[in-house]
Amino acid sequence: MNAIRDLGFRTVSLVAHLGRVTAFVGEIGRSTVAPPWRFRRFVAELYDVGVLSLAIVCLSGATVGAVLGLQGYVTLSRFGAEGSLGAVVGLSLVRELAPVLTALLVTGRAGSAMAAEIASMVTTEQLDGLRMMSVDPVDFVVKPKALAMLCAMPLLNGLFIVFALFGGYLVGVELLGVDGGTYVSSVEQSINFEDDILGTLLKSVIFGALVGIIATYRGYTSEPTSAGVSAATTGTVVTGSVSILLFDYVITALWGV
Amino acid sequence: MDGVIETEARVQLEGVHLSFGVRPVFRGLDVSFPRGRISVILGGSGSGKSTLLRAIGGLVRPQRGSVRVAGEDVTRLPERELFRVRERIGMLFQHGALLDAMSVYENVALPLREHTRLSESDIAAEVERRLAAVGLPDAGRLRPRELSGGMLRRAALARAIVTDPEIVLCDEPFSGLDPINVRRIEKLFTDLNRQLGISLLVTSHHIPSSLRMADQIVFLHDGVAEAGPPKEIRYHPDPRVAGFFAAELDADAATSEDGQGEEGTRP
């Protein structure tokens, strides 16, 4: 009997939680289409999310590309197919690795910081201070952050791809002796604009929206304690990472990208 | 009740019941705060002074009862409608609640930028005037983390009053202030009240300043309130009320002798 009651309680809690998330997303959407636009705050957040993530994304991209180049070369050379190295590196990056790894990196760096910042604003009554000034915290604090995450993710994804292709080139061409022209033309021929480029764009936009919503929601609904800040930060990284992998599968299964 | 201030209530609470989990804070609280007067809310720690201000601002909603602010029951209004009522209220939070990503100037300018069509030069003049009034004429460029506790609260007070609200809620404005700044803030409250007719609701543990400036004292205990003019409340027949005044005045005297009460510096 207790198990049934427990199951019922959990189900009701889950539905209520999903309802609160939906209402929160609705609030962000409503404030996005209505003035004030808060463009300066959006640009500042874009700097925090995008520019401050550049180093980690570019470095990781180059490293992942280098590893792919090395592994790909070892495998392909067994079959005498080193000339396809560009295609292997390019396709695996554009279709899968770049959007997923970029999203995971940005969740760890910018998403967690976003959640922690909002949660500490809850703890120090800054959001209540805004409410008492008749300023909607969702409009003033949450919207610019969520939109910045949405816009920065595809841009960072693009940079990740560029640096990863460059990393693959360095290892494959400069270190292991694959012909440079072959590498570049292999990348060019294997990557299709509609399936691959638009696909990676779609994934990164969805991941950006996902991470933006999870980070701001976790921060906004955190307990006003230091443990609440910590829980919001950890929760953002865990929920964000799992959601990215889950949605990656769903998007790939539905659209084949 | 004897000693009720004879003027129209600006804020009125009726039958307010509020609990946090199993801990009751208010058990049928009835109290009114008159228009254009200074009301000081006293009570022991955990008696619900801050919660009372938050309920008036619509930041917490009681389980039962009504909280009327300028005639509107804030317990029944949706959040968007509350914004309209809050435009008539300024609130000074206990720890300032300044936005730490902004400078003091930007914090004080924020309500003006959000709710008025003033030009940037007019906003600058208004902000400077308010910062000077609270004794922080040169603090505009500083970040909140660069201020001491007392300075932080004075900057927050400048933000709370910058739009000349009808009602100002102040949560412990004197705690951590040195005697000179207590007098300065006290005079500022009195000036705001006398010159602009602003209704001030102030929670405090600072009995001497409360007795000096209050038109009405509200004493919270056991989830209910005793309200009246300072003299009446100070010599209230209930020993818990009179005992609170005696204990706090003794503590104030001891603090003064020890030279304590200096404006604290944040770590």
Average pLDDT along chain B: 89
CB neighbours of residue A105 within 10 Å: 19
User: pLDDT tier at A45 (50, 70, 90 boundaries)?
Assistant: very high
- Across B252-258, average pLDDT: 59
Interface check A130 vs B, CB under 8 A: yes
3-state helix, strand, coil in chain B (%, to 5): 40, 25, 35
Q: Predicted confidence band at B259 (pLDDT cuts at 50, 70, 90)?
A: very low
B chain contacts of residue A47, beta-carbon cutoff 8 Å: none
Neighbours of A60 (CB within 10 A): 18
- pLDDT tens-digit profile of A1-32? 789 999 999 999 999 999 999 999 999 999 99
Query: What mean pLDDT comes out for the span A182-188?
Result: 96
Number of structural domains chain A divides into: 1
Nearest by CB to residue A129, choosing from B58, B82, B93, is B93
Output the six-digit token pair for B73: 């029951």
Give the model confidence (pLDDT) of B102-135 as tens digits. Answer: 999 999 999 999 999 999 999 999 999 999 988 8
Q: Does residue B172 have a pLDDT over 90? A: yes
The Cα–Cα gap between B131 and B126 comes to 9
Chain A environment of B72 (Cβ under 8 Å): none
Res. B257 pLDDT band, cuts 50 70 90:
low
Evaluate if residue B264 carries a pLDDT over 70.
no
Q: Is the peptide bond before B34 cis (omega within 30 degrees of 0)?
A: no
For residue B250, pLDDT beyond 80: no
Contact with chain B for residue A51, Cβ under 8 A: no
What's the complex ipTM?
0.89
pLDDT at position B219 is 95
| pLDDT confidence of residue B1 | 43
Confidence (pLDDT) at B260: 46
Chain B hits for A124, CB-CB cut-off 8 Å, are 95, 97, 100
Share of chain B above pLDDT 70, in %: 90
- Per-residue model confidence as pLDDT tens digits over B6-25: 467 789 999 999 999 999 99
Predicted TM-score (pTM) of this structure: 0.90
Mean local confidence (pLDDT), B62-74: 95
Pull the structure tokens for residue B112: 């003006």
Closest CA to B118 of B109, B129, B108, B105: B109
Q: Which domain holds residue A73?
A: 2-255
How would residue B256 be classed by pLDDT, with cut points 50, 70 and 90? Answer: low
Q: Report which DSSP code applies to A129.
A: H
pLDDT tens sequence across A74-88: 999 999 999 999 999
pLDDT at B266 (0 to 100): 35
Ordered DSSP codes for B110-176: HHHHHH----HHHHHHHHHHHHHHTT-TT-TTS-GGGS-HHHHHHHHHHHHHTT--SEEEEESTTTT
pLDDT given at position B252: 62
Residue B165, classified by CB atoms within 10 Å of its CB into exposed (0-12), middle (13-18) or buried (19+), is buried
Q: Which candidate from A126, A134, A135 shows the least CB-CB separation from B97?
A: A126
| DSSP for residue B77 | S
Residue A44 has pLDDT above 90, yes or no: yes
**How confident is the model over A119-161, as pLDDT tens digits?**
999 999 999 999 999 999 999 999 999 999 999 999 999 999 9
Check residues B267 and B38 and name the one with the higher pLDDT: B38
Answer whether B86 sits within 8 Å of A128, measured CB to CB.
no
Chain B residue with Cα closest to A126: B97
Whether the predicted pLDDT of A100 surpasses 50: yes
CB pairs under 8 A between A and B: 50
Interface with B, mutate which of A133, A135, A141, A145 (most B CBs under 10 A): A133
Tens digits of residue pLDDT in B183-237 = 888 998 999 899 889 999 999 988 889 999 999 999 999 999 999 999 899 888 8
**B→A interface, C-beta within 8 Å:** 54, 57-59, 82-84, 86-87, 89-91, 93, 95, 97-100, 110-111, 114-115, 156, 159, 169
Q: Please tell me the distance in Å from A177's CA to the nearest CA on chain B.
A: 52
How much of chain A exceeds pLDDT 90, in percent?
96
